[in-house]
């Protein structure tokens, strides 16, 4: 083929090649159209149809290697001929004649890809649906398989095949190879086998449900064992045998056999209690985080098994029940000596582990011990440091009242010691105690025994003195029969008169003590009760000057029936009441009364003067006092519930009020928890925190959640 001239305007046609490339933009539109038309009309007939020519053009024999190859240039499309391109390639290959250009094709691979080994083909997902005709070869869908990839299951042997085997040929092969004797069975036979398999699966599920019920029963018994403060071994030694006998008698022997399978060993009960306690603790921490504000009550005791325990109660807002709740936060054993710094380290470690913020602590209540109230290294100082002085410190009201009651004049304190000596003589000997009981029964006394006296029990002193005075005649006869020197005390009328006064005054103090105890007590409630007792003391002082002792019934009765000169005794009584009033004022100073300026919290619908509120809060309080809807709610709920309900409409007043209502006023809950530890003879089993938490908590463990976690 002749090469066209370099100045030719027509587009040359390469042998057996038709260009698919675009015409360069440099060419004009008119010239391009004429070129294309000329090329198609004149040169199309000259294309050589013989394909051997193409093969010769792409091959370079060794004989012609020395001769330079002809360069065929396509100036119209600026494309090099195929012969030159393939000549420079180390791996020449042929292409279809319609695409022999130098431009890469969409699916054409480069040389690097050609040199690399062929990659494995990606396995396409297998999607095969189940056909009811597969039952003819003994296969159904496995009940536990997914709908997107069903798995066939043999109704004869129960073997479950993969989803890719859900083909008639594979299923038939399984039947022929493993169950050849059943190959000619009709469809009814396989339908019957499928029904039998469904019944078997349902029975297995029923057995699993029974097992779950037994595990749940184990959790319930463990919870009741800890809540009743009983040893863990009681579940297997007492509950389980009687449970088996009762179920066998009422429900039959099969039910009794099921009861035998309930896991109630000592180790199992302890493990269940740990799980239940951990679940309750998780609920508690979650509620405290939602509450944001919280208050703490802390106390320590070394009376249980010679182990020093640190108890901490927390008060928070439970928005689920829209009220304030009190729960045991932790019970930690203290192995080292008790100091304020060590107590703080234990509490701070627990607070940090539960991701609680000290800045949200609004109150701390302790018993006033030196380790708690130290000015620099005490627990109070450490907590106020980390809480940025947002926590209000409170000395337990009950402990302060007890300190006041211990302030006695020397002569009255001597009467108290002598009374304890008489009680010890009778109660320390079992024979003496029984003889006094028989004597009281024969004399028709109202009481037949004496209570034990313990210094750690705050109200035992008043009970002991009152009972001793009521049985004074019986005790005098008993001591005279025993020829005891203690008989002289009851023969002294002045001593008996002082005993009568002590029994009366301590009974009144015990009433105050009991009124200060309880849950959900606030600073406002207890301050009101202390103020009432202070006013009573002033009234009693005034009446004693007038020789009126009706407020002391035992002393008044004895003085009226006795001819004793009461001048000296009345002086002692007046001095004691005067000192008692002074000590009450010192232990409960007016400057520490938080009620001043905060009475609007107790009743926001009354006009109170000198409220400790900002101008904005005063406006909100005025708006709240005019809200008739909240006024009706205030009459039907407690103060804490009222302010929780007012959070949505008055969030500023809600936060201000809850910071005064949340702090504890006593450590009654800690003392009650220590009493719960002493109720069980097996004390060592209840020293641990999990058992104690279940014994005092008001939260309900999520047993169903614990069982699902075990699945």
Output 76 or 652, whichever has higher pLDDT.
Answer: 652
Output 419 or 452, whichever has higher pLDDT.
Answer: 419
pLDDT of residue 55: 40
Tally of CB atoms within 10 A around 252: 11
664: phi then psi, degrees, rounded to nearest 5:
-70, 150
Instruction: Tell me which residue has tokens 């509450």.
Output: 291
Handedness of CA 167, 173, 174, 179 (dihedral sign): positive
Contacts of residue 62, defined as CB under 8 A and 6 or more positions apart, other chains included, come to: none
Distance of CA 212 to the CA centre of its chain: 24
How confident is the model over 548-572, as a mean pLDDT?
89
pLDDT of residue 683: 44
Residue 61 has pLDDT above 70, yes or no: no
pLDDT of residue 206: 53
| Residue 305 backbone zone (phi > 0: left; psi -120 to 50: alpha; other: beta) | left
Mean pLDDT of the chain: 79
Given a contact cutoff of 8 angstroms between Cβ atoms, the answer to whether 326 and 315 are in contact is yes
135: phi then psi, degrees, rounded to nearest 5:
-65, -20
Residue 639 has pLDDT above 80, yes or no: yes
- The angle subtended at Cα 547 by Cα 545 and Cα 549, nearest 5°, is 110
12: phi then psi, degrees, rounded to nearest 5:
-70, 155
pLDDT single digits (tens) 109-123:
444 444 445 544 444
Where does the pLDDT of residue 453 fall: very low under 50, low under 70, confident under 90, or very high at 90 and above?
A: low
pLDDT single digits (tens) 294-322:
999 998 876 555 677 889 999 999 998 99
pLDDT single digits (tens) 101-151:
444 444 444 444 444 455 444 443 444 666 777 788 888 888 766 566 778
Separation between Cα atoms, residue 48 and residue 596, nearest integer Å: 116
How confident is the model over 160-180, as a mean pLDDT?
81
pLDDT single digits (tens) 252-306:
988 888 898 898 988 889 899 999 999 999 999 999 999 989 999 998 876 555 6
Rg (CA), the chain: 49
Percent of the chain with pLDDT over 70: 75
Closest CA relative to residue 673, chosen from 395, 310, 366: 310
Q: What residues form DSSP beta bridges with 79?
A: 74
Given a contact cutoff of 8 angstroms between Cβ atoms, the answer to whether 539 and 678 are in contact is no
pLDDT of residue 83: 46
Output 26 or 195, whichever has higher pLDDT.
Answer: 195
Separation between Cα atoms, residue 669 and residue 298, nearest integer Å: 9
pLDDT of residue 368: 79
Instruction: Tell me which residue has tokens 């904005």.
Output: 616
How confident is the model over 563-582, as a mean pLDDT?
90
pLDDT of residue 228: 87
pLDDT of residue 21: 46
SS3 187: helix
Separation between Cα atoms, residue 460 and residue 455, nearest integer Å: 8
Query: Tokens in use for 12?
Result: 């040359």
Residue 348 has pLDDT above 70, yes or no: yes
* Range 451-475 burial, b when 16+ CB lie within 10 A, else e: eebeeeebbbbbbbbbbbbebbebb
Where does the pLDDT of residue 371 fall: very low under 50, low under 70, confident under 90, or very high at 90 and above?
A: low
Q: Which of 197-201, 325-329, 503-507 has the lowest mean pLDDT?
A: 197-201
Given a contact cutoff of 8 angstroms between Cβ atoms, the answer to whether 13 and 46 are in contact is yes
Q: pTM here?
A: 0.69
pLDDT of residue 150: 79
pLDDT single digits (tens) 8-18:
444 444 445 44
Where does the pLDDT of residue 680 fall: very low under 50, low under 70, confident under 90, or very high at 90 and above?
A: low
pLDDT of residue 389: 75
How confident is the model over 245-258, as a mean pLDDT?
90
pLDDT of residue 165: 75
Closest CA relative to residue 102, chosen from 117, 82, 75, 126: 82
Given a contact cutoff of 8 angstroms between Cβ atoms, the answer to whether 181 and 175 are in contact is no
Instruction: Tell me which residue has tokens 């005054």.
Output: 505
pLDDT single digits (tens) 535-552:
999 999 999 998 899 999
């Amino acid at each position: 083929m002749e090469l066209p001239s370099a100045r030719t305007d027509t587009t040359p046609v390469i042998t057996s090649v038709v260009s698919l490339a675009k015409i360069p933009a440099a060419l004009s539109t008119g010239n391009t159209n004429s070129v294309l038309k000329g090329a198609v009309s004149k040169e199309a007939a000259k294309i050589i149809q013989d394909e051997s020519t193409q093969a010769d053009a792409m091959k370079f024999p060794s004989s012609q290697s020395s001769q330079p190859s002809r360069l065929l240039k396509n100036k119209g499309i600026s494309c090099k001929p195929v012969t030159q391109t393939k000549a420079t390639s180390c791996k020449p290959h042929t292409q279809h004649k319609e695409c022999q250009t130098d431009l890469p094709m969409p699916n054409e691979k480069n040389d690097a890809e050609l040199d690399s080994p062929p990659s494995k083909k990606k396995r396409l997902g297998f999607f095969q649906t189940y056909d009811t005709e597969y039952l003819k070869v003994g296969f159904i869908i496995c009940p536990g398989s997914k709908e997107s990839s069903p798995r066939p299951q043999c109704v004869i042997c129960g073997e479950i095949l993969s989803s890719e085997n859900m083909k008639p040929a594979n299923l038939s092969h399984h039947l022929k190879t493993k169950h050849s004797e059943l190959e000619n069975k009709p469809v009814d036979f396989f339908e019957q086998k499928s029904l039998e398999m469904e019944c078997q699966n349902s029975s297995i599920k029923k057995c699993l449900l029974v097992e779950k019920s037994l595990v749940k029963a184990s959790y319930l018994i463990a919870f009741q064992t800890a809540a009743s403060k009983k040893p863990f071994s009681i579940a297997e030694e007492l509950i389980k045998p009687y449970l088996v006998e009762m179920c066998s008698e009422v429900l039959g022997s099969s039910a009794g056999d099921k009861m035998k399978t309930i896991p109630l060993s000592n180790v199992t009960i302890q493990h269940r209690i740990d799980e239940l306690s951990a679940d309750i603790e998780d609920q508690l921490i979650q509620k405290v985080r939602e509450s944001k504000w919280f208050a703490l009550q802390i106390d320590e005791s070394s009376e249980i098994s010679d182990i020093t325990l640190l108890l901490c109660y927390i008060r928070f807002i439970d928005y689920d029940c829209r009220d304030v709740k009190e729960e045991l936060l932790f019970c930690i054993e203290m192995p080292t000596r008790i100091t304020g710094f060590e107590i703080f380290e234990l509490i701070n470690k627990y607070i940090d582990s539960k991701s609680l913020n000290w800045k949200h602590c609004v109150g701390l209540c302790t018993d006033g011990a030196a380790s708690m109230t130290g000015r620099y290294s005490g627990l109070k100082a450490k907590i106020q440091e980390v809480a940025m002085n947002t926590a209000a410190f409170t000395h337990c009201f009950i402990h302060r009242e007890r300190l006041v009651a211990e302030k006695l004049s020397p002569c009255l304190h001597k009467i108290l010691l002598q009374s304890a000596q008489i009680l010890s003589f009778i109660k320390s000997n079992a024979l003496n105690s029984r003889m006094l009981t028989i004597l009281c029964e024969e004399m028709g006394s109202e009481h037949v025994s004496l209570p034990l006296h313990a210094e750690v029990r705050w109200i035992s002193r008043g009970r002991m003195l009152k009972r001793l005075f009521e049985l004074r005649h019986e005790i005098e006869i008993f001591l005279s029969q025993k020829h005891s020197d203690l008989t002289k005390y009851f023969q002294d009328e002045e001593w008996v008169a002082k005993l009568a006064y002590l029994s009366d005054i301590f009974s009144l103090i015990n009433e105050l003590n009991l009124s200060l105890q309880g849950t959900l007590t606030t600073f406002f409630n207890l301050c009101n009760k202390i103020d009432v007792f202070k006013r009573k003391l002033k009234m009693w002082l005034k009446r004693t000057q007038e020789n009126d002792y009706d407020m002391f019934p035992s002393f008044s009765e004895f003085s009226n029936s006795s001819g004793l000169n009461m001048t000296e005794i009345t002086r002692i009584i007046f001095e004691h009441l005067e000192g008692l009033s002074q000590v009450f004022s010192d232990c409960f100073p007016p400057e520490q009364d938080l009620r001043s300026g905060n009475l609007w919290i107790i009743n926001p619908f009354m006009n109170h003067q000198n409220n400790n509120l900002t101008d904005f809060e005063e406006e909100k309080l005025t708006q709240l006092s005019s809200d008739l809807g909240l006024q009706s709610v205030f009459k039907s709920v407690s103060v804490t519930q009222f302010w929780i309900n007012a959070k949505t409409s008055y969030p500023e007043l809600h936060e201000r009020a809850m910071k005064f209502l949340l702090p504890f006023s006593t450590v009654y809950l800690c003392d009650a928890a220590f009493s719960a530890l002493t109720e069980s003879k097996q004390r060592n089993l209840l020293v641990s925190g999990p058992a104690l938490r279940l014994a005092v908590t008001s939260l309900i463990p999520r047993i169903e959640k614990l069982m699902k976690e075990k699945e």
